[in-house]
Amino acid sequence: MHTTRRGHIPWLALAYMAPALVLFTVFSFLPFARAIQLSLFLVDRNTFEPAKWFGLGYYQRILNVGDTALGDEWLRSIVTTFQFTLMVVPLTLILALGLALLASAKVKGIGVYRTIFTSSLAISLASAGVIWSLFYSPSLKLFDHVLTDAATALPAVAAMTIWTSLGFAFIILLAGLKAIPKDLWESARIDGANAWTTFWRVTLPLLTPTLLFLLITSTIGAFQAFTQFKVLIDSVGPDGSTNVLVFALFTAFWTENNYGFAAALSVVLFALLLVLSLAQYCFDGRVHYQ
Amino acid sequence: MKALPWKLAGLYAGLTLAATLILLPLLFALSIAVQGDTVSPRLVPDFSRLDPSAFVQVFQKEPLMARWILNSWVVSLTVTAGQLLVSLLAAYPLALFRFRGRTFFFFLFLASLMIPWESTILPNYLTIAKWGWKDSYQALIVPFLASGFGIFLLRQALLVVPHELEEAAVLEGCGHGRFLWSILVPLIKPALATLAIWAFLNTWNQYYWPLLVIDHSEWRTTQVGITAFRSSEIASFNLPMAATLIVLAPTLLVLFLGQRQLVEGLTAGAVKG
């Protein structure tokens, strides 16, 4: 009924896919092409149209090539993003793995604990930001000035981010644990392996694909972080210490109306995330064929 | 294997400690919310003088709060319904038709997953501004009606539909619309439910985009709204915390009701057991 022979124009298939194709074209593909175009021009602030060819000028500025008088503000933004990612991702994975191991026990009432461990999945970054901003507020005298000190501001935002990221990492790891065949643990136990050896020799190697999946998705998430910085800090941070890439993009676009520059930052963000996505496909292929 | 009693006690201690730490920020928010209009709240409230009036005052001090909640519901439900429909329609031919260019379209949809929303946010903002869509529901809804994740999730679910079913449907003289609606949709209900929960949570929790395209406060969604409670004109802490908890309630409810569904659907793709 619905098998169009090869060579025919697939009108029916196109009709079904049309809404998605139109939406992606209008809100993803064309805007992305537009971002690339704008990133090569000086852009008129009123008409939003490209006004004068600027070549790779913005990219040179971001990567701090050539004119050093401008400082390394933008390169630093990329470095800050990496630092933030390094603070968030490993700790999220380790903590979530601990939670998943605890919650994989089949004991009475475990469902309640699992629900609690998953709960942060439903908590938005904005709500978490509002709660944690009070946590960090000087009037509470709990963590005075962590957000105004250049040394602690980024870790403070990272701590909040870890809390909101735990839920997703937890459910994925719990499912990964459940997928490990029971007889593998059983035979490890018969061989006289203790819990520690079993974890390192059996559980962890079998969880590697799941951990890699989470490593990449959490890294991509951390690279796109914006809301927590806007709600908790709402500036480049003490000594510019929390000016991550997407916040820098927001400032260039929203505060400074420097559309061409913001577009160039968008393209840089895309390139960084593309590398990560490609890494995921490579890992995926390698791990599953083992 | 029966666990030793002390081992079991240790396990419960560990679980309870972890659960307490995870719930701590929420308990903290609740504690602050019921301490009344004080500028120096304590970590643990005075249980003899609990004051839950903040949950009502939120709506009086900020008359638009109810409107923001309505906005969030309208936007989240519409986007969820739209993503289900658009993804289902696109996934149907991708999974079950054989046509020239199918691989091309497959990769085209895959490419949409590769372009992060943050990279297109500037041109998208300019588009919305040019169309005069700022401060409107359509600005908050239309850009999110298609979801690459949704298309792949549903395509994956449709791929396992047995061929005999299609042949039977053909013999019965069943048209595409009826085949899709009365036979396929019930079959892939779990995947549809997963997508619905995922779409609802993500849309309800959006912050960046509503912040950009909304100037007039009556069009705000709850996420942008609650951050306004921290502004200087409201100095107390109980109101922002109460507002945040009110806004968290729907998503927590959706997660608790749909947790099992969501976990199964999400992990089907992530974990190849």
Read off the CATH number of the domain in which A84 is found: 1.10.3720.10
Residues of B in contact with A214 (CB under 8 A): 270
Beta bridge partners of B51: B35
Both A26 and A158 in a single domain?
no
Residue A33 placed within a domain:
yes
Both A119 and A228 in a single domain?
yes
A41: Cβ–Cβ under 8 A, 6 or more apart, which residues?
Answer: A50, A51, A52, A53, A54, A260
Chain A interface disruption, residue of B62, B115, B158, B252, most A CBs within 10 A: B115
Whether residue A4 and residue B98 make contact (CB cut-off 8 A), yes or no, is: yes
- Structural contact between residues A100 and A175, judged by C-beta atoms closer than 8 angstroms: no
**What phi and psi, each to the nearest 5 degrees, are found at residue A51?**
-110, -45
- Structural contact between residues B202 and B144, judged by C-beta atoms closer than 8 angstroms: no
Q: How far apart are the first and last CA of chain A?
A: 40
- Structural contact between residues B94 and B102, judged by C-beta atoms closer than 8 angstroms: yes
Nearest CA-CA distance, residue A151 and chain B, Å: 23
pLDDT in tens, A6-47: 445 688 899 999 999 999 999 999 999 999 999 999 888 888
What pLDDT score was predicted for residue B243? 93
Is residue B36 less than 8 Å (CB to CB) from chain A? no
Whether residue A163 and residue B22 make contact (CB cut-off 8 A), yes or no, is: yes
Both A111 and A196 in a single domain?
yes
Residues of A in contact with B119 (CB under 8 A): 32, 35, 266-267, 269-270, 273
What pTM value is reported for the model? 0.89
Residues of A in contact with B227 (CB under 8 A): 126, 129-130, 231
Radius of gyration of chain B (CA): 24
Contact residues, B window 199-258, toward A, CB-based 8 Å cutoff:
201, 204-205, 207-208, 211-212, 223-224, 226-227, 229-230, 237, 240-241, 243-244, 247-248, 251-252, 254-256
Residue A67 placed within a domain:
no
**Concatenated DSSP letters of chain A:** ---PPTTS--HHHHHHHHHHHHHHIIIIIHHHHHHHHHTTEEE-TTT--EEEE-TTHHHHHHTT-S-GGG-SHHHHHHHHHHHHHHHHHHHHHHHHHHHHHHHTS--TTHHHHHHHHHGGGGS-HHHHHHHHHHHT-GGGTSSTTTTTSTTTHHHHHHHHHHHHHHHHHHHHHHHHHHTS-HHHHHHHHHTT--HHHHIIIIIHHHHHHHHHHHHHHHHHHHHT--HHHHHHT-SS-GGGTT--HHHHHHIIIIIS--HHHHHHHHHHHHHHHHHHHHHHHHHHHHHHT-
Both A139 and A81 in a single domain?
yes
Q: Mean pLDDT for each 10-residue chunk of chain B (273 residues)?
A: 76 95 94 84 82 90 92 97 97 89 91 90 94 96 95 90 77 82 89 92 94 94 88 72 93 87 70 40
B96, B170, B226 ranked by CB distance to A127: nearest: B226
Both A269 and A171 in a single domain?
yes
Rounded to whole angstroms, the Cα distance separating A258 from A43 reads 7
Rounded to whole angstroms, the Cα distance separating A277 from A104 reads 30
What pLDDT score was predicted for residue A131? 93
B3, B97, B169 ranked by CB distance to A13: nearest: B97
Is residue B138 less than 8 Å (CB to CB) from chain A? no
- Structural contact between residues A246 and A226, judged by C-beta atoms closer than 8 angstroms: yes
Both A181 and A93 in a single domain?
yes
B85, B227, B267 ranked by CB distance to A130: nearest: B227
What pLDDT score was predicted for residue A66? 53
Both A256 and A169 in a single domain?
yes
* pLDDT lower than 50: segments of chain A: 1, 4-7, 69-70, 287-290
Number of domains chain A contains: 2
A212: which 2 tokens? 């890699």
Residue A65 placed within a domain:
no
Residue A213 placed within a domain:
yes
- φ/ψ region of A38 (left if φ > 0, alpha if ψ in -120 to 50, else beta) reads alpha
- Positive or negative: CA dihedral A197, A198, A201, A207: negative
Report the SS3 class of residue B259: helix
B166: Cβ–Cβ under 8 A, 6 or more apart, which residues?
Answer: A1, A2, B96, B179
Residue A189 placed within a domain:
yes
* Residue in B closest to A217 by C-alpha: B270
pLDDT in tens, B122-143: 999 999 999 999 999 999 999 9
Residue A1 placed within a domain:
no
**What phi and psi, each to the nearest 5 degrees, are found at residue A234?**
55, 35
What pLDDT score was predicted for residue A191? 83
Whether residue A126 and residue B98 make contact (CB cut-off 8 A), yes or no, is: no
Q: How far apart are the first and last CA of chain B?
A: 24
Residue A155 placed within a domain:
yes
Residues of A in contact with B43 (CB under 8 A): 140, 142
Both A121 and A210 in a single domain?
yes
- The predicted complex's ipTM stands at 0.90
Whether residue A127 and residue B223 make contact (CB cut-off 8 A), yes or no, is: yes
Both A115 and A185 in a single domain?
yes
Both A166 and A219 in a single domain?
yes
Domain span at residue A48 reads 12-55
Nearest CA-CA distance, residue A67 and chain B, Å: 26
Beta bridge partners of A41: A53
Both A168 and A40 in a single domain?
no
Whether residue A48 and residue B100 make contact (CB cut-off 8 A), yes or no, is: no
Closest CA to B202 of B212, B191, B194, B192: B194
What pLDDT score was predicted for residue B49? 83
Whether residue A38 and residue B108 make contact (CB cut-off 8 A), yes or no, is: no
Both A122 and A50 in a single domain?
no
Residue A281 placed within a domain:
yes
